[in-house]
Amino acid sequence: MITSMTAFVDTLQAKGRYTFTLTEAIEADERSAVALEAALRRLKQKGRIASPRRSFYVVVPVEYREAGCPPASWFIDDLMRFLGQPYYVGILSAAAIHGAAHQQPMLFQVVTDRPIRPARAGRVRIGFHMGRHVGQAPVVAIQTETGTMRVSTPEATAFDLVRFAPAAGHIGNVVTVLGELAEKIDPQPLAQIADLYALSDVQRLGYLLEHLGEKRLTDPLAEQLQTRRYRPILLAPGKAKGDSPIDPRWRIIPNEKVEVEF
């Protein structure tokens, strides 16, 4: 039996572990539930632990006491395992990990398979987005300070930037990030995973990549698109159609000006 929650947390950190659950705390401390909750509450007040989700705790090392929590990358894999949900780090967070860091996201963006409310601990904020293809989307295991986390590949990230465009900022930001990400994208895998996404996502991505002059990426996408029946769509859904002519290749109605930001 651990003599105190402080000792329990110190032992975990000494072993290189930075997360634990309420169940584990109960197993380690035979005091009453009321006493245990009080001990955990005191540790939170002292900034020794954070709790981004009820019954899930993160150990806060000294260097992150002011921030109130270590980065989400330290615990996202454990958190999603605790929630029992498949996931990958995506959208702007994945783009930044792959080197497209034009604009650091305000929150850590995660894609999972069902709705889940945002998580917050200290200054760390995690936003969740629902995708039906989470289990099929290609991911890479990225080493973190505490283990690994699942991150969408550059190709899957490119599709998510247009699919979750509101979370990625306006069209100008999306195309700017795509421009930085393009050199990491392999055209063959990009075309191969196109079937996972809606036709509109393929059309918009192809249109924006062509705007960037990425012919090596657009040609395979265009070939893949020719095997599917697609109709004219707005570049920016929810905005006025305007009077711009339809792009003949991607059948995009360019109702918003595409400008790369620097």
Give the tens place of pLDDT for each residue, 205-215.
999 999 999 99
For residue 260, is it within any domain?
no
| End-of-domain residue from the set 48, 64, 80 | 64
Q: Between the ranges 34-38, 102-106, 153-157, where is the mean pLDDT highest?
A: 153-157
For residue 146, is it within any domain?
yes
Domain that holds residue 46: 5-64
Residue-level pLDDT at 204:
97
HEC string for 59-109 = ECCHHHCCCCCCCHHHCHHHHHHHHCCCEEECHHHHHHHCCCCCCCCCCEE
Task: Indicate whether 89 and 188 sit together in one domain.
Answer: yes
Quick one: pLDDT band at residue 262, thresholds 50, 70, 90? Answer: low
For residue 82, is it within any domain?
yes
Task: Indicate whether 209 and 147 sit together in one domain.
Answer: yes
Task: Indicate whether 126 and 234 sit together in one domain.
Answer: yes
For residue 218, is it within any domain?
yes
User: Is pLDDT at 12 greater than 50 in this prediction?
Assistant: yes
Task: Indicate whether 51 and 97 sit together in one domain.
Answer: no
| End-of-domain residue from the set 64, 90, 109 | 64
User: Is pLDDT at 1 greater than 50 in this prediction?
Assistant: no
What average pLDDT does this structure show over 77-97?
A: 97
Phi, psi at residue 56, to the nearest 5°? -125, 130
Going by their DSSP bridges, the two strands 139-143 and 49-53 should be labelled as: unpaired
For residue 228, is it within any domain?
yes
Task: Indicate whether 29 and 121 sit together in one domain.
Answer: no
Could you give the count of Cα atoms lying within 13 Å of 189 in the half-sphere of its Cβ?
15
Quick one: pLDDT band at residue 31, thresholds 50, 70, 90? Answer: confident
For residue 259, is it within any domain?
no
Task: Indicate whether 197 and 116 sit together in one domain.
Answer: yes
Task: Indicate whether 232 and 125 sit together in one domain.
Answer: yes
State the Cα–Cα distance between residues 91 and 100, nearest whole angstrom.
11
Task: Indicate whether 34 and 86 sit together in one domain.
Answer: no
User: Range with the lowest mean pLDDT among 87-96, 131-140, 222-231?
Assistant: 222-231
Residue-level pLDDT at 3:
59
Task: Indicate whether 10 and 46 sit together in one domain.
Answer: yes
Quick one: pLDDT band at residue 161, thresholds 50, 70, 90? Answer: very high
Quick one: pLDDT band at residue 59, thresholds 50, 70, 90? Answer: very high
| End-of-domain residue from the set 20, 46, 64 | 64
For residue 156, is it within any domain?
yes
Q: How many domains does the structure of the chain reveal?
A: 2
Task: Indicate whether 86 and 105 sit together in one domain.
Answer: yes
User: Range with the lowest mean pLDDT among 48-52, 71-75, 183-187, 234-238?
Assistant: 234-238
Tell me if 37 sits within 8 A of 22, measured CB to CB: no
The model carries a pTM of 0.92
State the Cα–Cα distance between residues 166 and 100, nearest whole angstrom.
18
79 compared with 31, residue with greater pLDDT: 79
Residue-level pLDDT at 172:
87
Task: Indicate whether 50 and 125 sit together in one domain.
Answer: no
Residue-level pLDDT at 170:
82
Task: Indicate whether 93 and 211 sit together in one domain.
Answer: yes
